[in-house]
Structure 1
Amino acid sequence: MNIKTIIKVGLATAFALTATGCKDFLIEDLKSELSPTNTFTSTYGFEVGSAGLYALTRSEYNTYGENGAYIHNGACPYEALQAATDIVDVINSDASLMAFANLSLTPDEKFVASYWNWAYSLIASSNEILIYADKNTNWDTDADKARFQAEARFFRAYAYRTLVYLYGDVPYVETILYDFQLNFTRTPKAEVIGHIIDDLKFASENLPDNPDQVKDGKLTKWAALHLLSEMYLLQGEPALAEQAALEVINSGNYALMKTRFGVNKDKAGDVFSDLFLENNQNRQNQGNKESIWVLQFEFNAIGGGTNSDDWSRRAWNPQYHSIKGFVLADTLGGRGLAQIVPMKWWVGTKGTNATGDIAGIFDASDIRNSNYNIKRNWYYNNAAETALYKKKSNITEETWFSTKTLFPALTKFFYGRVENLSLTGSYRDRMKFRLAETYLLLAEAYLGQNNTAKAADAVNEVRLRAGATAVSAGAMNMDFLLDERIRELVGEESRKFTLIRTNKFLERVKSRNSAIASKVNENHALWPIPQVIIDSNRDAEFPQNPGY
């Protein structure tokens, strides 16, 4: 059986395992073949189940479910984790995003339920593997049992991470639920975080420790430690977060990429832009030593993505193709829909004719602000329009905030294929964890210990790679760090999670998001509990989050 078949079977297995109360996922012709009792009976069977966990995890970025692992039916759902924060405007966008952006969210909103269902599907599938790993005695090697349990516990922790950020107190489940339950209760957030940390500690002790000996996209102990550092910060344990981050940084396995590499290393560009070029994300053969964990979406690859698996390009890129004089081009990022657009205060407007230039948050020398990374200069590319061809098309207030056809665009999300420039998906592997973020987590840990000097040192590792001026200990604070995370990680991180973890959600939204500054309050830090969950939980009280 080839890898693609393993992944398809793994998905079917994952759905079969989580089908209680979700009959749409029951596929009768697969059920008998893929029941847990005949799948989880060997190392190979657990490989099948493990592949399903990876696919279900990356389906967080899925849209309409075209052969993907989950169906959200709307914009890329992770856009809802950027909306109503301090970095993007959401203007006349996909209907699935607008309630998040304008704070009119209700418990019946689509993504409120789909994120809940996605996370608990991943948890249920992880629990199934854990239970059957304890029962199985047929392993190829003595280490197999602990390895698959470590993967399952990592993914369970990853799912609960999303749940506590979005909903606060949530039911904690660590076993197989054979019977339909109507009496769930909400486990306190602090207790759930404790379970997350326990899972990640186990994962860090039992996942492979040599990233050169695992396949692209597979977890290592260093991915577990990276996430553990973040979870210690959420728990309010900055010294432990420091320790976990330093284990990754000092492991000798990873390094910030500081010289040109990969497919376009001899062409115009810079090392930051190299990180995001297609075929530059992975460690094996591609030489990216900064990547710690990479979600595999590769175009036309066995087990790769589908059109619906990652719509980040459509989210972030302008609709330039709607302007006379432009045609779709891979060099311009393919077909964007501008479902979210960057705010002026951080990206700046220098070099445009928009009203009132704003400097933004980048040093002049910062390569992350170069035209290779933020495209501000747009030139008509339709040779048939001879009067316009190769002339500059200016960004204006109208093109940015009304038609959304031109604005400073993040090239990290450019993606186009000459085979089909209207492809909806971003068929490019996605760096989920990379070392630059580990340094920024370390800086956050030092700030939590009131050590601004060491926090500045950690941030400067990232800034100096970017050619930016070093920050002093005196200027180092949480707002500077949050700005630095924009400069380095905008669009990669789930911004809402970051603002909640740092206790800056309300302050930053009020000061930087004028569209909702007057109505945002502390209740908006959490989403509502899906109404369907409350309604179906008839045998026990299941309180709604405040404000909904």
Structure 2
Amino acid sequence: MKIIYKVRRSSQTIFVYSPIIIMLLFTFLILLGSCKKFLDINPPKDRIDRSKVFENDETATSAVIGVYSQMAGNTLGFASGGNSSVSVLGGLSADELKSYSDALKFFSENQIQTNDSKINNVWRTAYNYIYTANAIIEGLAVVNGVSESTKKQLLGEAKFIRAFCYFYLTNLFGDVPLILNTNYKVNENAPKSSSATIYSQTITDLLDAETLLSDSYVTNERVRPNKWVAKSLLSRVYLYTEKWDLAAQKASEVINHKVLYTLVNDLDKVFLKNSTEAIWQLVPPAGQNTTEGGFFILTATPTSVSLSPDLLAAFDNSLDNRKNVWIKELNNTTGRYSYSYKYKIRTSSLVTVPVTEYSMVIRLAELHLIRAEAKARLGQVEPALDDINIIRRRAGIVTPVTGLNPLQCLMEIRKQRRLELFTEWGHRWLDLKRTVEANTILPPLKGSSWQNTDVLYPIPDEEINRNINLIQNLGY
């Protein structure tokens, strides 16, 4: 019943669900979420009456909202926080986090096994979200009970979800199967598609989402994507695919939409629910604050992770308030441990506290750094420095950077991305990979265990054994 409650809560400003609607939604989500292997899943039409799941605006909306609820509350797979989250695994693979767990040390030492359950969780959960998105897209195409305006919004959200998941799958695993339907007979032995093909489909989905989604948020919270959320992810994808002019253009469109988005000057308030810096957030499980707060905030000697000394040393300016506000230290008889304090509330299942923080997925500061990098790549250093200095000023560093050449400008951008986005959705890990810096920065930290092929995670054994057309990534 947990999923049901979260779905109701995340959209309480719009709908009041009847018991029949709740039962249909619960059945739909359980059938999608409990499948052992994504490519083995029978399509929902073979197991439930899809016309009832998409019977009206309320039930169709519930199917979409269920994905966001799972992302926020699922600590065992592709999610916003927890042991198998992209934030944690990416932080360990890069140089952000130090591991104290046997289950996590393989990521910090880059000795990941092909049967690692966390890798399997990331793969399986991301593909389950993609499967749900495909089911929604197909369902909306064949039912008549959903209004045109709702159908348009939900179709845009489903395409955004699919694009979001594929962005991370191709960045973590490289070439992966591209699944665009729920036909299990076709999908069960789907071969890999190239990262270029995955990116092309991701861009197509995001362009469609940009057109389909509403200008404003459909609730009074920032938890369901609108067109600006699609533009933001599109800007990131354009940056990763080196389409510099398009990356700058999309970032500017979001930055200039000041009616909705402005940087929060008080660093303590950036990650509050519905902050003006938030472009897309996830609602935590009912009655709790974020899984990130529960995971990162230390109250005792760490058993999972702490921040790495290498990250702490990167803050070379004593006036940088990001170190003062977003990082805290625990001292006890066993030692001194620094931890991420972007989220201020450590969730406890024993104590009900007011929900004041939502999980941040995309925020405005990243868009400034995307535009800065895109401009620098185009040789437009002065506009790039303007965005860099906006981020630095917000951090309390009043002296602007000036007079940099394009290479120096890019180095400063990479530094600011590291200091601004640490422990958020694996940004540092993905940045090291896409800039080809992983093979120079990480070997001195990882030691002899590092191989150049470690920039990609292994395809899970479970998938390799089941799908005769899947080939393991090099180095595993």
TM-score tier by shorter-chain length is 0.7 to 0.9
- Write the distance in 2 (CA, Å) between the matches of 1:97 and 1:419: 24
Match of 1:295 among 253, 261, 282: 282
- Write the distance in 2 (CA, Å) between the matches of 1:70 and 1:366: 29
Q: Which residue of 1 aligns with 2:309?
A: 344
Question: Residue 186 in 1 paired to residue 178 in 2?
Answer: no
Which range moves more in the overlay, 194-203 or 96-105? 96-105
- Write the distance in 2 (CA, Å) between the matches of 1:493 and 1:102: 19
Given that 1:254 and 1:435 are in contact with CA atoms closer than 8 Å, whether structure 2 keeps it comes out as no
Q: Which residue of 2 aligns with 1:545?
A: 473
Q: Which residue of 1 aligns with 2:111?
A: 104
Other structure's SS at 1:170 match: coil
- The one-letter amino acid of 1:532's match is E
Given that 2:119 and 2:457 are in contact with CA atoms closer than 8 Å, whether structure 1 keeps it comes out as yes
- Write the distance in 2 (CA, Å) between the matches of 1:517 and 1:8: 53
Given that 1:13 and 1:52 are in contact with CA atoms closer than 8 Å, whether structure 2 keeps it comes out as no
Q: Which residue of 2 aligns with 1:62?
A: 75
- The one-letter amino acid of 1:231's match is V
Q: How well do the aligned residues superpose, as a CA RMSD in angstroms?
A: 3.4
Larger-gyration structure (1/2)? 1
Q: Which residue of 2 aligns with 1:522?
A: 452
Given that 1:374 and 1:411 are in contact with CA atoms closer than 8 Å, whether structure 2 keeps it comes out as yes
Give the gaps of 5 or more residues in structure 1: 260-270, 283-287, 323-336, 349-359, 379-392
- Write the distance in 2 (CA, Å) between the matches of 1:537 and 1:15: 24
Other structure's SS at 2:185 match: coil
TM superposition shift of 1:240: 0.8
Q: Which residue of 2 aligns with 1:437?
A: 366
TM superposition shift of 1:534: 1.3
Given that 1:20 and 1:178 are in contact with CA atoms closer than 8 Å, whether structure 2 keeps it comes out as no
Q: Which residue of 1 aligns with 2:462?
A: 532
- Write the distance in 1 (CA, Å) between the matches of 2:240 and 2:22: 33
Other structure's SS at 1:96 match: coil
Q: Which residue of 1 aligns with 2:259?
A: 253
Q: Which residue of 2 aligns with 1:351?
A: none
Match of 1:16 among 26, 31, 35: 31
- Write the distance in 2 (CA, Å) between the matches of 1:110 and 1:41: 37
TM superposition shift of 1:185: 0.7
Distance 1:258-1:54 versus aligned 2 partners, 3 A rule:
closer
Match of 2:319 among 361, 365, 390: 365
- The one-letter amino acid of 1:40's match is F
TM superposition shift of 1:73: 9.5
- The one-letter amino acid of 2:338's match is P
TM superposition shift of 1:145: 1.6
Q: Which residue of 2 aligns with 1:129?
A: 136
- Write the distance in 2 (CA, Å) between the matches of 1:52 and 1:526: 30
Distance 1:109-1:71 versus aligned 2 partners, 3 A rule:
farther
- The one-letter amino acid of 2:475's match is G
Given that 2:134 and 2:181 are in contact with CA atoms closer than 8 Å, whether structure 1 keeps it comes out as yes
- Write the distance in 2 (CA, Å) between the matches of 1:203 and 1:7: 27
Q: Which residue of 1 aligns with 2:94?
A: 85
- Write the distance in 2 (CA, Å) between the matches of 1:73 and 1:364: 31
Distance 1:127-1:32 versus aligned 2 partners, 3 A rule:
closer
Other structure's SS at 1:341 match: strand
TM superposition shift of 1:297: 0.9
Given that 1:299 and 1:428 are in contact with CA atoms closer than 8 Å, whether structure 2 keeps it comes out as no
Q: Which residue of 2 aligns with 1:464?
A: 393
TM superposition shift of 1:58: 2.7
- Write the distance in 2 (CA, Å) between the matches of 1:117 and 1:418: 27
- Write the distance in 2 (CA, Å) between the matches of 1:340 and 1:103: 15
Distance 1:213-1:314 versus aligned 2 partners, 3 A rule:
closer
- Write the distance in 1 (CA, Å) between the matches of 2:349 and 2:60: 36
Alignment of 1:365-404 (within 5 A): 365-370=319-324, 372-376=325-329, 403=334
Other structure's SS at 2:93 match: coil
- Write the distance in 2 (CA, Å) between the matches of 1:87 and 1:273: 21
Q: How many residues align?
A: 454
- Write the distance in 2 (CA, Å) between the matches of 1:534 and 1:47: 35
- The one-letter amino acid of 2:452's match is E
Other structure's SS at 2:362 match: strand
Given that 2:51 and 2:143 are in contact with CA atoms closer than 8 Å, whether structure 1 keeps it comes out as no
Q: Which residue of 1 aligns with 2:341?
A: 411
Alignment of 1:110-259 (within 5 A): 110-140=117-147, 142-179=148-185, 181-211=187-217, 214-259=220-265
Given that 1:229 and 1:240 are in contact with CA atoms closer than 8 Å, whether structure 2 keeps it comes out as yes
Distance 1:19-1:368 versus aligned 2 partners, 3 A rule:
closer
Given that 1:318 and 1:406 are in contact with CA atoms closer than 8 Å, whether structure 2 keeps it comes out as no
- The one-letter amino acid of 2:92's match is A
TM superposition shift of 1:228: 0.5
Given that 2:24 and 2:53 are in contact with CA atoms closer than 8 Å, whether structure 1 keeps it comes out as no
Distance 1:455-1:163 versus aligned 2 partners, 3 A rule:
same
TM-score by length of 1: 0.74
Tell me the percent identity.
24
- Write the distance in 2 (CA, Å) between the matches of 1:82 and 1:464: 26
Alignment of 1:475-486 (within 5 A): 476-486=408-418
Given that 1:9 and 1:52 are in contact with CA atoms closer than 8 Å, whether structure 2 keeps it comes out as no
Other structure's SS at 1:412 match: coil
Match of 1:503 among 414, 433, 436: 436
